[in-house]
Each structure stands twice: as structure tokens, then as C-alpha cells.
Structure 1
Amino acid sequence: MATTLPLIKLVTILSIFIIPMTLIAHSSLTSDVEDEEDEWVMDDQFLSQIVRPGSRFFASKIKKGVRCHEVTNNICPGISVNKGNGLLQCCKKHCRNVLSDRNNCGSCHQKCGFGELCCNGLCTNIAHNVDHCGDCDQKCPSGVKCENGSCGYA
């Protein structure tokens, strides 16, 4: 009984540190993905049929996070998706929407700063921009200022 008590203490201490570290590591690995879509729908149906005919990845939809290689398997080389609201590029071996991805804004590896979102491929400060107030494409009414991400905040 006396030898099991230190073992129980050791297991308890390790579990206190291992579980939070696992959660932190998982959240840092998944934070690179910024797109809200689960999949992208290609705009050009003809292109979707000739780029990779017969491929299970390339019907008219591309799933979020699909792997690519810039030379040998580039399934997202500047493809317009979601009715012009997305433009896919192969960044770090994954398809990314460079019109809305904060880590690949406008092109691969262009990160937006603190307080900025990627709006239509441009890093935009959403705290003071009347055309993107608090979020992309949230316009303030004419003559109303955007302050702290809210239209007409006083």
C-alpha cells in the first residue's frame, strides 16, 4: 500500500500536465485554418471535369483541408470557387482560400496582423474601416463612423 501512494501521486501529477499540453498543442495545430467553409464549390463546371477527370477529389467540390503539392498534385491552382467569393491556392501543401484566410491573405504566407481580417484578399483593420466594420463587407450607413468594430459606436 505504501508503494502505491507515490505511484498514484505521480500519475495524478502527470495527468494534470499532459492533458492541458495536449489540448494546447491541438489548438495551435488547428488554428492555421481560417476558412469557415467545409468545402468549396467550383465556379466553372467545365474546368471541374477536365482538370482531373475521374478523380474522387475533383467533381465540382473541393473539401476544406485537402492536400496538394505545388508541382505534382496542384488541385487548387488559382481556381475560383463559391460564386467568386473564393480563390484557391496551394499553400503549405493544403488548398487555402486566399480571399479570406488570415494566414494566406492575397497570396500564400501573407499573414494579417493583430485586429485584421482578410477581406477580399486584403488585410483589413476591421475596427475603424467603414466598409468592413467588425467583419468583412459589413458597411456602415453613409456618414456613420466605424469605431471599435461597431457602426456609430459612441
Structure 2
Amino acid sequence: MNFLKLSLMLAIVMALAAITLSTNTSETSHPPPADHQMPTSYRGTGRFLAQKPRHALTCDRHPEICSTRGSQGPFCCNKKCVDIKTDKFNCGRCGKKCNYSKICCEGKCVSPLSNQKHCGGCYNNCGKGNPCVYGMCSYA
């Protein structure tokens, strides 16, 4: 127990000594000369930051960007490229939101917990005679 107390006290003294030695006192620091100016640019920033800001291309003015490779979808809704067949916030048309427990499949809001054709996810068909219960085919 005494060793633990001694170690704790030693650690506190060392921390206080480190803090005291690392801080500059106002007596030793000198103010910069009156004619000294701060640099206006940072060294090594490069020309990228020096360029004028470019306006982002949005699909409301350039709808062709939604048909490019890597786009989120072929349709433009609220200045964003979306796929209205699978987007939960633009299901079937722009602005049509699916309820909390539903997902968007084929442009329609469906419940993956009980829908026979979209059981557990889009296009997961349980088949004839197998019910969709809790998002699983033939649960019981």
C-alpha cells in the first residue's frame, strides 16, 4: 500500500515538473518586432487550395450526369441522382417516402416482413405455398 502511494506521489511530482518546464514564461519570451508581418500563405498548400471554388454539377441543370457510370441512379430528384425503383425516399416518383417498416421494390413501397414477392428483401419470392412470415419464407 505504501509503495502504491509513493508511486502515485512520484508520478504527480514528475507531471508537475514536466508542465512547469514545458511552459514559456512571459519574462523569457520576446514580442515580435513592430514591422514584422505574419505570412499571408501557408507553405506547401499547393495550387489546389489557391484555385477558385468550382460549382458542383447538379442534375437539375445537367441531367446527363445521372446516366454516367458510378451514378446513384438514372433519375434526378432534389438535385440528386436516385433510382426511383429502389430509393426509400423517392419510391416510384420524386418525394414519395416509404413508411418506417417498408422498403422500395420496383417503385412500390412494400413490407419485407410479409410480402410474398419481396420477403426479407427485394425480389425474394417465397414461391407458391410458402408464406412470408417475419421476413422469412416458410418460417413456421
TM-score (norm 1): 0.48
Matched residue, 1:41:
none
Matched residue, 1:68:
58
Specify which of 95, 104, 109 is matched with residue 109 of structure 1.
95
1:14-53 matched pairs, under 5 angstroms:
none
Instruction: Note if contact 1:68-1:75 (Cα within 8 Å) is conserved in structure 2.
Output: no
Q: Secondary structure at the match of 1:75?
A: helix
Amino acid of the structure 2 residue aligned with 1:127: L
Gaps of 5+ in 1: 5-65
Amino acid of the structure 2 residue aligned with 1:139: N
Amino acid of the structure 1 residue aligned with 2:97: K
Q: Which 4+ stretches in 1 moved above 6 angstroms? A: none
Q: Distance in 2 between matches of 1:76 and 1:88?
A: 9
How well do the aligned residues superpose, as a CA RMSD in angstroms?
2.8
Instruction: Note if contact 1:74-1:90 (Cα within 8 Å) is conserved in structure 2.
Output: yes
What CA deviation, in whole Å up to 9, does each residue of 1:30-51 have, x standing for no partner?
A: xxxxxxxxxxxxxxxxxxxxxx
Between the two proteins, the alignment pairs up a number of residues equal to 85
Instruction: Note if contact 1:87-1:99 (Cα within 8 Å) is conserved in structure 2.
Output: no
Matched residue, 2:82:
96
Q: Which has the higher contact order (CA 8 A, sep 6+)?
A: 1
- Rg larger in 1 or in 2? 2
Instruction: Note if contact 2:102-2:110 (Cα within 8 Å) is conserved in structure 1.
Output: yes
The structure-2 alpha-carbon separation of the partners of 1:152 and 1:131, relative to structure 1 and needing over 3 Å to count, comes to same
Higher strand share: 1
Instruction: Note if contact 1:91-1:104 (Cα within 8 Å) is conserved in structure 2.
Output: yes
Matched residue, 1:146:
132
Amino acid of the structure 1 residue aligned with 2:58: C
Identity %: 32
